[in-house]
Amino acid sequence: MSDFVTIRLVKSTSGRLKKHQGTVKALGLRRIGHSTQVRDTVEVRGMINSVSHLVKVEG
């Protein structure tokens, strides 16, 4: 398993739960189509899992 994982925001956070909006912001995503690399840890995987309907994991 690599040290980093790339995630991309594919759906808007507008109208979503505040908790989900905060999670997306904490992952470093700002707008639709924006992608970022984050360290692949258990905590980050949990965050990705909670907003899996909004993001796409790319590796």
User: CB atoms < 10 A from the CB of 11, how many?
Assistant: 13
For 25-46, the pLDDT digits (tens) are: 999 999 999 999 999 999 999 9
Beta-ladder partners of 50? none
The verdict on pTM exceeding 0.85 is yes
Q: Which domains does the chain have, with CATH numbers?
A: 4-57 (3.30.1390.20)
8 A C-beta contact, residue 27 and residue 48:
yes
Return the pLDDT at 2: 67
